Amino acid sequence: MARVVVDVMLKPEILDPQGKAVQGALPRLGFEGISDVRQGKRFELEVDGELTEERLAQVREIAEKLLSNPVIEDFAVHVDGAVAGAGA
């Protein structure tokens, strides 16, 4: 059993209204000096059995096919804090 984490972020050139709303709230709370906030998604996948290259490739396929939309988002796959491969 292994936990694989997939982080999905909007591409840098895509406007992120949610991130902007969060950033806009910061000065009202007294936090200064945060020049930008981007909001993304984190998926934690519990993978049965040994985490082989094939299983990791499968997770990357899941990330590309379902968890992210490559038109507007990038994703990164991590295992135990190590980067297992990113997709743009």
Partner 1 sequence: MKVGVVTFPGSLDDVDGRRAVVLAGHEAVALWHGDHDLRGVDAVILPGGFSYGDYLRCGAISRFSPVMTEVVAAAERGMPVLGICNGFQILCESHLLPGALIRNNHQKFVCRDQRLRVENNGTAWTSSYDGGAEITVVLKNGEGSYVADEATLDLLEAEGRVVVRYLDVNPNGSLRDIAGITNERGNVVGLMPHPEHAVEDLCGPGTDGLGFFTSLLAPVG
Residue 30 Cβ vs partner 1, minimum distance, rounded to whole Å: 22
Residue 54 Cβ vs partner 1, minimum distance, rounded to whole Å: 22
Residue 69 Cβ vs partner 1, minimum distance, rounded to whole Å: 6
Binding site for partner 1 (CB under 8 A): 10, 14-15, 17-18, 20-21, 66-67, 69, 71-72
- Residue 20 vs 78, nearer CB to partner 1: 20
- Residue 52 vs 69, nearer CB to partner 1: 69
Burial of 23 (0-12, 13-18, 19+ CB in 10 A): middle
Residue 82 Cβ vs partner 1, minimum distance, rounded to whole Å: 26
Whole-angstrom distance, CA of residue 15 vs CA of residue 42: 19
Where helices occur in 1-88 by DSSP H, the ranges are: 17-28, 53-62
* Angle (CA) 76 5 84, round 5°: 55
- Residue 17 vs 81, nearer CB to partner 1: 17
Within 10 Å of residue 3's Cβ, how many Cβ atoms?
A: 12
